[in-house]
Amino acid sequence: MNAIALQIVATGALVGVAASTLGTFLVLRGRALASDAIGHAIVLGIVLVWLATGATSGPLQLVGAAAAGVATVWIADALGRTRRVADDAAIGLTFPALFALGVLLLNVYARDVHIDAHTVLLGEIGFVWLDTVPVFGVAVPDALLWLSVVTLLNVGFVATFFKELELGTFDPALATAFGFAPGALGGALLALTSVTAVASFDAVGVVLFVAFTIVPAATGYLLVDRLARILWIAAGVAVASSVLGYLAASAADVSIGGGMAAATGVFFALALAFGPRYGLVAQRIRRRSERDVHENRALAVHLFQHAGTREAGEENVVGALRDHLRWSERKARDVVARSLDAGWVDRDGERLALTERGRAAAREILHPERRDAPSAR
Amino acid sequence: MDLATLAGDYTVRTVVAGAALLGIVSGVLGTFAVLRRQSLLGDALAHAALPGIALGFLVAGQRALPALLAGALASAVAAALLVALLVRRTRLKGDAAIGLALSLFFAVGVILLSFVQGRAGAGQAGLETFLFGQAAAILRSDLWVMAALAGVALASVAALWKEFELVTFDPTYAAALGLPVAVLDVTLTALVAVAVVLGLQLVGVVLMSAMLIAPAVAARQWTHRLGRVAILAALFGAASGVLGATVSAGARGLATGPLIVLALSAFTALSLVFAPTRGLLPTALRRRADRAGHRDRDVLRALDTLRRRHDDPTYAAERGMVDATVGHPTGRTLRTLERRGLVERVRHRPEEGRHWRLLEAGEAALERGRDGPDAPEGRA
């Protein structure tokens, strides 16, 4: 990789780490779409700050955008509190209105400035090396510098308030009782999300910022339960996606930002399919084994109920499973084979009989209350 | 340009007609989306349409609207199915599922778009107009395609009205009646996707969610009947569409989509504040009137109690005693009641300060309040 490639990958990785660190909490708190709302609404903040001060980047822009982002969520929350609008509808009403206002202001005042809607939505990570500032004599891309600051800010924030954030996320009531001020921390989270969005939008654009906020965090959440591990996995996925996304996108000569965001999707798909506990394959295996156990128990109960009765000769045979339990030929064969393996059933030609173990199992299913009272037997 | 010239302009007429059409369809289908708590699904569908548009272009080999719309519809529905899968089969919440589908489909769309634009001769595809909406790019032939799609969507809603109503308000009951709830769910979502796809060219990806949500929220303020909400939402949508398109044509340089959305937002804000029963202002005024009524009655009752306690129908109580009986300062309330002729102030000797006496009219008001609808519990 040459220097430019390295700068591009580093930019993507920083966006990813900064966004997914906060995104983990947003996803767990059910506020994932705040990143979408904030990402769009900061356009208005950027335009207003530019109109007021003429600055198109730098600390003023970060502060202005943070204010716009927090204001968006605040307006949406206030709308939701009136109980006239559902919470999700409130978000969906607020950010398009602010975005529309921002775009119209751009239409009127800023036709030739570089902050146009295209950049905001799509970004162009391929050009991050164009604007540089000297740091200790080395030309460092603007975006890279700001993203480093923002990443340090986010990671520092999460590390400092980890305990408070964790409790505020999983048990807000207890956090309030402890005096952890979950409201203030939630506000800080949203403010940092806004700052991160404005620092990222030049590079990857708003929608891909949303991808970096939500997808790595969701990937971690599907894999593990411990908050710290989710954070580590999210950061890892974000960095790996930047590298892979860059390599794939530049090989195919397509959008690099899009490639990086899509790469997070690949990791998510893998976790969704093959996650050890929550993955779809694991779920399927678990469901199947539960069904197997269930069927074995059904057979044991069936045999137990008819054992020693007049119909035993006609009920406790393999054919009856098909005719009376309406099991398919294959299912009956499978269940009998499993029950033989488990030592619950003995087979004599067509006839089936429970072993002592099978009888015990059936008794326990039918009369669970006697399990702890052997004297009642 | 004055209004007459505008109305005569061919392009302007096309855009206005398209905007009105979009307003009607998104108003009606947004009603269902909002009531089903799927407001932001529209946002996801809009973003998710992008890869479909690019694929449609690649398959058709040119900017043929039917192919683009078909692709957009297909990928939007695929995203909706992904959201449903994630919500049902994983522990992700609905908002994370929507954000995930939205951003990943969009990412694929950005990749495909850059691929399309990278190919020689395809640079002029103008697919980016779908991102931000470019109303002026709508051709008369596009309008016919849009009208056909809108017609199909509205006809489906009309034909399946009762079923949709039931699935929206009581899916459990609908299932108990034997309705194919899952099929109806998907159908309704697909129709929302149709509305979204219609809007992309006009208002673009970002603003589409407002086109669905705002008319329904505004309409819901004025009535609680589903049919009326849908019709009102269609009217709000159409009015905003016409307004936005006309202003945009008159004031060169202002984008149509944002203007339509701002018009809609204004309708919604006005409805939220001023609608008679659900509006925030009327509600606040009613609450204030209630509070004042309670205060008045408390003071009148205190005067009455004191009068009975002293066995003197003309007894005049001291301010301090009234305050103590009611439990808080009553000076202002007493003065208001005096103005209304319900109590009067009596001056005994100067050193004793002001006294207040209940008048006949006040007695009558207290009697009325006792039997009235606002009478406190246990008194009625």
Residue A314 is part of a domain; what is its CATH number?
Answer: 1.10.10.10
Distance from CA of B107 to the nearest CA of A (A): 5
Pairwise CB contact (< 8 Å): A92 & B213: yes
Instruction: Check if the beta carbon of residue B290 is closer than 8 Å to that of residue B279.
Output: no
Pairwise CB contact (< 8 Å): A210 & B92: no
User: What is the model's pLDDT at position A270?
Assistant: 96
**Of A217, A243, A266, at which residue does a domain stop?**
A217
- A81 lies in which domain range? 3-217
Q: In this model, does residue B82 exceed pLDDT 90?
A: yes
User: What is the model's pLDDT at position A305?
Assistant: 85
Nearest residue of A to residue B89 by CA position? Answer: A280
Name the pairing type of β-strands B316-318 and A345-348.
unpaired
* pLDDT tens per residue across span B141-153: 888 989 999 999 9
| Phi, then psi, of B347 in degrees rounded to 5 | -110, 115
Number of inter-chain CB pairs under 8 A, A vs B: 190
Q: In this model, does residue A295 exceed pLDDT 70?
A: yes
Q: In this model, does residue A313 exceed pLDDT 90?
A: no
Q: Of B37, B205, B268, which is closest to A93 when you measure between CB atoms?
A: B268
For an interface test with A, give the residue of B103, B224, B277 to mutate (most A CBs within 10 A). Answer: B103
Instruction: Check if the beta carbon of residue B75 is closer than 8 Å to that of residue B49.
Output: yes
A204 contacts in chain B (CB < 8 Å): none
Distance from CA of B65 to the nearest CA of A (A): 22
B290 contacts chain A (CB < 8 A): no
Instruction: Check if the beta carbon of residue A213 is closer than 8 Å to that of residue A35.
Output: yes
Distance from CA of B202 to the nearest CA of A (A): 13
Q: Where would I find the H helices in chain A?
A: 3-28, 34-53, 59-81, 87-109, 117-122, 142-160, 162-170, 172-177, 182-223, 227-252, 256-274, 280-306, 312-315, 318-323, 329-342, 356-366
Instruction: Check if the beta carbon of residue A48 is closer than 8 Å to that of residue A72.
Output: no
Q: Specify the higher pLDDT residue, A20 or A1.
A: A20
pLDDT band (50, 70, 90) for residue A286: very high
Nearest residue of B to residue A37 by CA position? Answer: B206
* pLDDT tens per residue across span B253-294: 788 889 999 999 999 999 999 999 899 999 999 999 999 888
Integer angstrom CA distances of residue B50 from A100, B39, B40, B91, B128: 20, 19, 17, 27, 9
* A239 located within any domain: no
pLDDT band (50, 70, 90) for residue A371: low
Percent of chain B residues past pLDDT 90, beyond the cut: 50
Query: How many Cβ atoms are within 10 Å of B190's Cβ, its own excluded?
Result: 16
The two tokens of residue A288 are 């199947």
What's the rounded Cα separation, in Å, for the pair A146 and A164? 27
CA-nearest of B150, B195, B130 to B17 is B150
Q: Specify the higher pLDDT residue, A338 or B120.
A: A338
Pairwise CB contact (< 8 Å): A257 & B110: yes
Q: In this model, does residue A351 exceed pLDDT 60?
A: yes
A280 contacts chain B (CB < 8 A): yes
B50 contacts chain A (CB < 8 A): no
Pairwise CB contact (< 8 Å): A117 & B132: yes
Q: Of B39, B104, B111, which is closest to A211 when you measure between CB atoms?
A: B104
User: What is the model's pLDDT at position B378?
Assistant: 39
Nearest residue of B to residue A35 by CA position? Answer: B99
CA-nearest of B155, B203, B160, B198 to B179 is B160
Strand partners, A348: A351
Which of the 8 DSSP states describes residue A125? G
Integer angstrom CA distances of residue B272 from A80, A90, B217, B280: 12, 12, 8, 6
Q: Which has the minimum average pLDDT: A52-61, A140-149, B3-12, B270-279? A: B3-12
SS3 of residue A133 by DSSP: strand
Amino acid type, B110:
V
What's the rounded Cα separation, in Å, for the pair B190 and B198? 12
**What value of ipTM does the predicted structure carry?**
0.86
CATH number for B3-254: choose from 1.10.3470.10, 3.50.50.60, 3.40.50.2020, 3.40.50.2300.
1.10.3470.10
CA-nearest of A331, A242, A266 to A294 is A331
Q: In this model, does residue B366 exceed pLDDT 90?
A: no
Instruction: Check if the beta carbon of residue B266 is closer than 8 Å to that of residue B259.
Output: no
Q: Which CATH number goes with the domain that contains A39? A: 1.10.3470.10
CA-nearest of A263, A169, A292, A315 to B111 is A263
Q: In this model, does residue B376 exceed pLDDT 50?
A: no
Q: Specify the higher pLDDT residue, B346 or A370.
A: B346
Q: Which fold has domain B282-371?
A: Arc Repressor Mutant, subunit A (1.10.10)
Mean per-residue pLDDT for B356-364?
A: 88
Q: What is the mean pLDDT of chain A?
A: 86
Name the residue with tokens 């059910």.
A30
User: What is the model's pLDDT at position B380?
Assistant: 34
| Phi, then psi, of B345 in degrees rounded to 5 | -95, 145
Name the residue with tokens 């799509």.
A122
User: What is the model's pLDDT at position B316?
Assistant: 87
Q: Of A103, A214, A262, which is closest to B96 when you measure between CB atoms?
A: A214
Nearest residue of A to residue B203 by CA position? Answer: A100
CA-nearest of B277, B258, B210 to B237 is B210
A122 contacts in chain B (CB < 8 Å): 110, 131
**Of A217, A233, A254, at which residue does a domain stop?**
A217
Mean per-residue pLDDT for A288-316?
A: 87
Nearest residue of B to residue A81 by CA position? Answer: B280
Pairwise CB contact (< 8 Å): A222 & B92: yes
Give yes or no: residues A210 and A287 share one domain.
Answer: no
B273 contacts chain A (CB < 8 A): no
pLDDT band (50, 70, 90) for residue A120: low
Domain ranges of chain B: 3-254, 282-371
Burial class (CB in 10 A: 0-12, 13-18, 19+), A271: buried
Q: Of B37, B91, B132, which is closest to A88 when you measure between CB atoms?
A: B37
Pairwise CB contact (< 8 Å): B95 & A210: no
Q: What is the DSSP string of A59-90?
A: HHHHHHHHHHHHHHHHHHHHHHHTTSS-HHHH
Give yes or no: residues A64 and A139 share one domain.
Answer: yes
A35 contacts in chain B (CB < 8 Å): 99
Amino acid type, B330:
T
pLDDT band (50, 70, 90) for residue B1: low
* A89 located within any domain: yes
User: What is the model's pLDDT at position A95?
Assistant: 92
Pairwise CB contact (< 8 Å): B90 & A213: no
A218 contacts chain B (CB < 8 A): yes
What's the rounded Cα separation, in Å, for the pair B275 and B269? 10
A93 contacts in chain B (CB < 8 Å): 210, 213-214, 217, 265, 268
Which of the 8 DSSP states describes residue B344? E
Which of the 8 DSSP states describes residue A369? G
The two tokens of residue B221 are 């303020």
Per the structure, the count of domains in chain A is 2
**Would you say the C-alpha torsion B159, B161, B162, B166 has a positive or negative sign?**
positive
Strand partners, A140: A133
What's the rounded Cα separation, in Å, for the pair A194 and A66? 5
Mean per-residue pLDDT for A101-128?
A: 70
Instruction: Check if the beta carbon of residue A238 is closer than 8 Å to that of residue A212.
Output: yes
User: What is the model's pLDDT at position B119?
Assistant: 72
Q: In this model, does residue B97 exceed pLDDT 70?
A: yes
Q: In this model, does residue B122 exceed pLDDT 70?
A: no
B91 contacts chain A (CB < 8 A): yes
pLDDT band (50, 70, 90) for residue A248: very high
Task: Please give the biggest Cα pair distance in chain A.
Answer: 98
Residue B357 sits at the vertex; the CA angle it makes with B353 and B361, to the nearest 5 degrees, is: 150
Which of the listed ranges A274-283, B252-261, B351-360 does the model predict with the highest average pLDDT?
A: A274-283
Helix axes A256-274, A227-252, angle to 10 degrees: 130
Mean per-residue pLDDT for B236-265?
A: 90
Q: In this model, does residue A113 exceed pLDDT 80?
A: no
Query: How many Cβ atoms are within 10 Å of B175's Cβ, its own excluded?
Result: 14
Q: Which has the minimum average pLDDT: A111-115, A196-200, B65-69, B375-379? A: B375-379
Q: What is the mean pLDDT of chain B?
A: 87
Give yes or no: residues A301 and A209 share one domain.
Answer: no
Q: Roughly how many angstroms between the first and final C-alpha of chain B, as a whole number?
A: 67
Total count of residues recorded for chain A: 377
Neighbouring residues of B129: CB distance < 8 A, sequence distance ≥ 6:
B137, B201
Amino acid type, B3:
L
Mean per-residue pLDDT for A71-83?
A: 91
SS3 of residue A91 by DSSP: helix
Neighbouring residues of A308: CB distance < 8 A, sequence distance ≥ 6:
none
A247 contacts chain B (CB < 8 A): no
The two tokens of residue A291 are 């069904």
User: What is the model's pLDDT at position A242?
Assistant: 95
Pairwise CB contact (< 8 Å): A211 & B257: no
Q: Specify the higher pLDDT residue, B10 or A346.
A: A346
Query: pTM of the entire structure?
Result: 0.85
Integer angstrom CA distances of residue A169 from A30, A230, A235, B95: 9, 14, 19, 16
B252 contacts chain A (CB < 8 A): no
Strand partners, B355: B318, B346
Mean per-residue pLDDT for A171-194?
A: 86
User: What is the model's pLDDT at position B180?
Assistant: 93
B92 contacts in chain A (CB < 8 Å): 27, 218, 221-222
Strand partners, B195: none
What's the rounded Cα separation, in Å, for the pair A78 and A21? 27
A278 contacts in chain B (CB < 8 Å): 90-91
Instruction: Check if the beta carbon of residue B97 is closer than 8 Å to that of residue B87.
Output: yes
* pLDDT tens per residue across span B133-179: 777 778 888 889 899 999 999 999 999 999 999 999 999 999 999 99
> Could you say which residues from 132 to 161 on chain B have a Cβ atom under 8 Å away from some Cβ of chain A?
132
| Phi, then psi, of B354 in degrees rounded to 5 | -80, 145
Helix axes B140-159, B65-89, angle to 10 degrees: 40
Mean per-residue pLDDT for A29-52?
A: 88
**Of A168, A187, A217, at which residue does a domain stop?**
A217
Pairwise CB contact (< 8 Å): A215 & B103: yes
Give yes or no: residues A165 and A89 share one domain.
Answer: yes
User: What is the model's pLDDT at position B375?
Assistant: 44
A211 contacts chain B (CB < 8 A): yes
For an interface test with B, give the residue of A31, A40, A103, A221 to mutate (most B CBs within 10 A). Answer: A103
Neighbouring residues of B259: CB distance < 8 A, sequence distance ≥ 6:
A100, A104, B243, B244, B245, B247, B248
Distance from CA of B349 to the nearest CA of A (A): 53
A91 contacts chain B (CB < 8 A): yes
Percent of chain A residues past pLDDT 90, beyond the cut: 40
For an interface test with A, give the residue of B39, B75, B87, B110 to mutate (most A CBs within 10 A). Answer: B110
Give yes or no: residues A165 and A310 share one domain.
Answer: no
Pairwise CB contact (< 8 Å): B89 & A97: no
